[in-house]
Amino acid sequence: MTLDKAWFSHRIVNPDPLITFSSTELDTIGIAILLKENPGISEAGGMHFLSPVWTLENGAVEVLLQAIAKAQADLPRHVFVCLASTVFELYLLGKSGLPAILANGSIFVDETTWRVQPANWPGLDRFDAVYNARLLPYKRHELASALKSLMLISHYAFGEEQEKALADVQKLLPHAFFANRKLASIDKPVLSAEQTSLLLAHAGVGLVLSSEEGATKASIEYMLCGLPVVSTNSLGGRDRYYGAPYCQIVPDDPDAAAAAVKRLVEARLERLRIREHVSKAIAFDRHNFLLAANRMIKHHMGLANALPSFRPLLGLKQSFVSLGDNREEFGLQLSSM
């Protein structure tokens, strides 16, 4: 991947000493890749926490290891710490020698946006299930084909023409309600987080059908909005916050997925209790993450209590920007420190 085509989210949480948080696509390492263009900052040193957007359990640790080694050759005074979404990822990172902390990507979701709300979108029906996923093959929309009451919400389909991606899924799921096509505007075809949160109130169950990706934001968003979840077995860490009776993991079979949706709809689980249970689990992980991150920062940078709360990191991985389209803005951010 070329530098200007990299997409990532980032936060600068401390300017001096420099402490950043970024998503990483393994071969590009977040906002730190810009630092060598600013000699003053690169020589001063810094610490960079990297949250991978995809699972590390498929051999990707070696790719990340090589990318970080290259970055440290350019930035010898900087420290890179990888955030693991699963305990097994933490093991693999430790085995490789990379500094790492357990920090599932789901802990960065802003629960003030994703919350239990009444189903009051004007004129919108209720659906047994909703699938919020890009219209891409790895999302395996075909596993929802046995559902007759289904709403689809989608984001841009990276690397594909939008209309072709839509047509492919329409062939797979001709009875589905395509929320973006019906409810979004022509100039803004992607629904906002606030709009999506409102739409989730009209569904009984959230679907997550990929077999491999990252922590999967949609999964934790469903549960914070009070929806039970039907998932397939997966790599990436989304199942860290799953538990009975509000989650069911099913085989890669449309009938199995439909049957699980039916069971959860009929169970009429209380949405506020689902949100409360998941929120407590996230709060526990955030607390332990802050303890570990602050100890690392103090050890390497000499700064005590650099992260007194989790608030600066809320929504970190909600939106991604293109380095190519925002290079000047990033340069100004770094130059102003």
CA distance 90 to 83: 8
Per DSSP, 212 falls in state B
pLDDT score recorded for residue 272: 98
User: Which whole number is the average pLDDT over 219-231?
Assistant: 98
CA distance 81 to 93: 10
Which one has a higher pLDDT value, 89 or 22?
Answer: 89
Per DSSP, 192 falls in state P
Using one digit for the tens of pLDDT, what is the confidence trace for 8-46?
A: 678 888 888 889 998 888 677 766 667 766 666 667 788
Q: Which residues neighbour 49 within 8 Å (Cβ) at sequence distance 6 or greater?
A: 19, 20, 21, 22, 81, 82, 83, 101, 103, 293
- 163 pLDDT band, cuts 50/70/90, is confident
Q: In the beta sheet, which residues pair with residue 7?
A: 322
User: Which whole number is the average pLDDT over 197-210?
Assistant: 98
User: Which whole number is the average pLDDT over 108-119?
Assistant: 96
- Label residues 115-125 b or e (16+ Cβ within 10 Å = b): bbbeeeeeebe
pLDDT score recorded for residue 332: 47
Using one digit for the tens of pLDDT, what is the confidence trace for 261-318?
A: 999 999 999 999 999 999 999 999 999 999 999 999 999 999 999 999 999 999 887 6
- 209 pLDDT band, cuts 50/70/90, is very high
Sign of the four-CA dihedral 143, 107, 134, 177: positive
pLDDT score recorded for residue 133: 96
pLDDT score recorded for residue 182: 87
pLDDT score recorded for residue 328: 54
Tell me which of 38-47, 68-77, 102-111 is least confident. 38-47
- 50 pLDDT band, cuts 50/70/90, is very high
Highest mean pLDDT pick, 75-84, 140-149, 315-324? 140-149
